[in-house]
Amino acid sequence: MRPVLEVRELGFAYGNGVLFRGVSFALARGEALAVLGPSGSGKTTLLHLLAGLLPLQEGEVFWEGEAIRDLGEARLAPRRLRFLGLVFQHHFLFPELTALENVLAPGYLAGRVDKAWALSLLARLGLKERAHFLPQRLSGGRGNGWPWPGPST
Ligand SMILES: Nc1ncnc2c1ncn2[C@@H]1O[C@H](COP(=O)(O)OP(=O)(O)OP(=O)(O)O)[C@@H](O)[C@H]1O
Ligand SMILES: [Mg+2]
């Protein structure tokens, strides 16, 4: 079966500092992979490359068999919306939307809004009673998510 996500010989450097080279793996549907490494080793950078949020340097990334290198942002963005979910290190919630509206936001863009499903996800996280709270009223929420954890107030 074709891998859902595949990476071949990925390498990346900020300026002259090579972070990693020769990273290759393939993930089948339902498989899980944990990337472990010390702070600064490049985990976030790797995820951003997999998501097409950073321009590729060495190597290739394939989404369901398709190389993303030459897609360009106009074609990449709608595919990313349907193909990929990314939990960012900093949460980047929309500060003016409630918890429920934040969960629903990608669905609005994709034309699939399922409020019951979104509420069930919040319930699984113990946030059912706070579905209509703004992020600033949720623990860890500081509006735009940056800086995090931010200055104590
Ligand atoms: N935009 C950037 N420009 C230059 N260097 C960067 C940039 N972003 C990250 N770096 C550097 O690249 C290295 C890897 O950063 P990255 O954030 O990918 O690491 P990480 O493994 O996610 O770390 P952490 O566990 O602390 O989240 C670090 O040394 C970081 O300072
Ligand atoms: Mg990181």
- Whether a cis peptide bond, with omega within 30° of 0, leads into 149 is yes
Nearest bound ligand to the CA of residue 38:
1
pTM score, whole prediction = 0.85
- Closest C-alpha residue for ligand 1 atom 13: 40
Atom of ligand 1 nearest to the CA of 89: 27
- Amino acid identity of residue 32, one-letter, is A
Q: Which domains does the chain have, with CATH numbers?
A: 5-83 (3.40.50.300), 87-153 (no CATH)
Angle between the N-to-C axes of helices 115-124 and 99-110, in degrees from 0 to 180, rounded to the nearest 10: 140
Condensed to tens digits (0 to 9), the pLDDT of residues 25-82 reads 999 999 999 999 999 999 999 999 999 999 999 999 999 999 999 999 999 999 999 9
Is the CB of residue 49 below 6 angstroms from any atom belonging to ligand 1? no
Backbone angles phi, psi at 112, to 5 degrees: -135, 100
